[in-house]
Amino acid sequence: MNRLLFVELKRAITSPVLWAGIIAMIILPAYEIVWSGYGFQVYTTTFLLSDTSKICIFMAVFIPLHTGHDFESRTINNKITAGYKRKQIYFAEVIVSAVCASILLVINTVAGFVFSAVKHLEFSDGITCTKFFIDFVLSLIGIITISAVFTMIIMIVHKELLSIALAVLMALLLLNTGSNAVSDLMQPEYKLDAERNEMTENPLYLTGIKRAAANVHLLVSPFAQAEYEEFMLYETPEEKQNNSAVFLPLFLP
């Protein structure tokens, strides 16, 4: 099992596709921080964890390509002949996928810090390092879960192109529905009526069962959590109680 894991890790880490993803995870924060202008105050934390959904889409392509090669070339039969069980092969691929997804997130985060230092940005406006670390761990758990789902798809389907299509469609669909759930939860309870110059109730603000359903969606879907990452750093205690991917209002006093 250890040898199988070592061989698969080596094959994944030397993959040109993974390195293309690593380069992309460096270019994205470079563009967002160095090459873009903003009409408001920005901090290092403004850009951290904001590319998690893009990592999900990349992994939807990379994992079927990496693991699907074994099925297309029939090399998986050689592993079985060598004495490895299908369960061992699956767990090895899950670990490899998790490592690759983690590398992309770490590289993207480090690049965010580096380019923020180049622009001499302050770390944050009131966000502690502990808060960032907790949110980083939550983001890491989310993309590892997503990578395991994509690995399961290729291990079931066996077809490389079909697996890529299914994984990409799943990623786009669930990221979109997750984004909608986040947008609904982020709606303020009141909004300014420009004509009357007074605060009025926001008809888009979710209450009752609808809000509970949106919150459950955010809690159980790692894709929705990927869309929520950039908001989690800035949520207030009140917003955490209403929106958080960790705490459901239903379970709070």
Q: For residue range 176-221, what is the model confidence (pLDDT) as tens digits?
A: 999 998 888 888 777 876 677 777 887 888 888 888 888 888 888 9
pLDDT for residue 246: 53
Q: Which of 211, 212, 193, 213 is nearest to 201 (CA)?
A: 193
Are 139 and 52 contacting, i.e. CB atoms less than 8 angstroms apart?
yes
Q: How confident is the model at residue 52 (pLDDT cuts 50, 70, 90)?
A: very high
Residues 6+ apart with CB under 8 A from 89: 4, 76, 79, 80
Residue 66: alpha-carbon gap to chain centroid: 19
d(CA 162, CA 157): 7
Lowest mean pLDDT among 11-15, 234-238, 244-248: 244-248
Mean pLDDT on 103-107: 96
pLDDT for residue 53: 92
Are 241 and 252 contacting, i.e. CB atoms less than 8 angstroms apart?
yes
Q: How confident is the model at residue 106 (pLDDT cuts 50, 70, 90)?
A: very high
Percent above pLDDT 70 for the chain: 86
pLDDT for residue 211: 83
Which residue has better confidence, 143 or 4? 143
Q: How confident is the model at residue 174 (pLDDT cuts 50, 70, 90)?
A: very high
Question: Given a cut of 60, is residue 250 above it in pLDDT?
Answer: no
